[in-house]
Every structure is written in structure tokens, then in C-alpha cells.
């Protein structure tokens, strides 16, 4: 059974996070981190929409449930998503008191490693 919203860390109660990077929409759905550090962390769904122009009916070019690690700090929580797909991983850094996050996407293109950075917003 899902927990009550107050039983999750702020910003990690199941609402989606999204950003636009390089003309693509990147979203994380079902992002949940229980307040109880001993509870398991459910896998979110990562979706990437290439060349996103605001069409709500566009199908994602990549969609998968992805494993995560969570690192809780005194100022922020690092939500690290591991992807077996068009990127290697995504770091979502969420301040404890603010529903905004900075995100880093790590990927390889033509045998070179890259990092893309953007601001993720908590969608309501």
C-alpha cells in the first residue's frame, strides 16, 4: 500500500519531476522516497521525449523502470537513477526545503563522456 504523503521526504511523494534539455523532455514518474531510511525505494519510470514540442500525445522515445540509490544529506537529497539506455545515469539533487532540483545527466556519444545540466521542476 502507498504511504501517506507525510511519510515521504519532501518532493519525493510520487509526483513527477521534469525538465527540458537540448530540445528533449526528460521526466521521472512515481518518484518516492519514504522518510523511514530502512524502507525500500521503489523504481521510478524514466521517460525521454526526443524533440519535444509540447504535444501531449507524443510517445516517449525511451521509457523504462529504473533502479535508484538515494543519499540523504543535511541540506539536500541526491536521487541517483541508473539507466541502461540513452544515458548512463541521472543525478537529481533536491534541497530539503524547496521543490526545485538541479539535475545532471551523464551520457556517452561517439565514445566521449558528456554531462548535461538542467533544472528539474516538481510537477503538480
List, in order of start, the domains of the chain with CATH numbers.
5-122 (2.40.128)
Q: From CA 100, how far away is CA 109, in angstroms rounded?
A: 28
The three grid cell numbers given for residue 73, joined into one nine-digit string: 544529506
Q: Are 19 and 26 in contact (CB under 8 A)?
A: yes
Q: Are 70 and 50 in contact (CB under 8 A)?
A: no
Higher pLDDT, 60 or 97: 60
Q: Give the model's pLDDT for residue 122.
A: 83
Q: From CA 3, how far away is CA 117, in angstroms rounded?
A: 31
Per-residue pLDDT, averaged over 74-103, amounts to 89
Q: What is the pLDDT of residues 20-47, one digit of tens each?
A: 988 999 999 999 999 988 889 999 999 9
pLDDT confidence tier of residue 118, bands split at 50, 70 and 90: confident
User: How much is the pTM?
Assistant: 0.86
Q: Give the 3-state secondary structure of residue 76.
A: strand
Q: Are 78 and 71 in contact (CB under 8 A)?
A: yes
Residue 74 is given by DSSP the state: S
pLDDT confidence tier of residue 123, bands split at 50, 70 and 90: confident
Q: Give the model's pLDDT for residue 109.
A: 85
Whether 124 shows a pLDDT value over 80: the answer reads no
The three grid cell numbers given for residue 45, joined into one nine-digit string: 519510470
Q: Are 70 and 42 in contact (CB under 8 A)?
A: no
Amino acid at each position: 500500500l502507498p504511504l501517506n504523503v507525510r511519510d515521504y521526504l519532501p518532493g519525493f511523494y510520487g509526483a513527477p519531476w521534469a525538465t527540458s534539455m537540448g530540445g528533449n523532455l526528460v521526466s521521472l514518474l512515481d518518484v518516492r522516497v519514504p522518510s523511514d531510511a530502512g524502507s525500500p525505494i521503489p523504481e521510478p519510470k524514466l521517460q525521454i521525449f526526443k524533440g519535444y514540442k509540447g504535444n501531449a500525445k507524443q510517445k516517449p522515445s525511451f521509457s523504462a523502470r529504473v533502479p535508484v540509490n538515494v543519499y540523504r544529506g543535511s541540506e539536500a537529497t541526491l536521487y541517483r537513477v541508473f539507466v541502461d539506455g540513452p544515458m548512463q545515469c541521472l543525478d537529481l539533487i533536491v534541497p530539503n526545503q524547496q521543490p526545485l532540483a538541479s539535475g545532471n545527466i551523464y551520457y556517452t556519444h561517439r565514445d566521449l563522456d558528456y554531462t548535461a545540466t538542467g533544472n528539474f521542476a516538481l510537477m503538480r
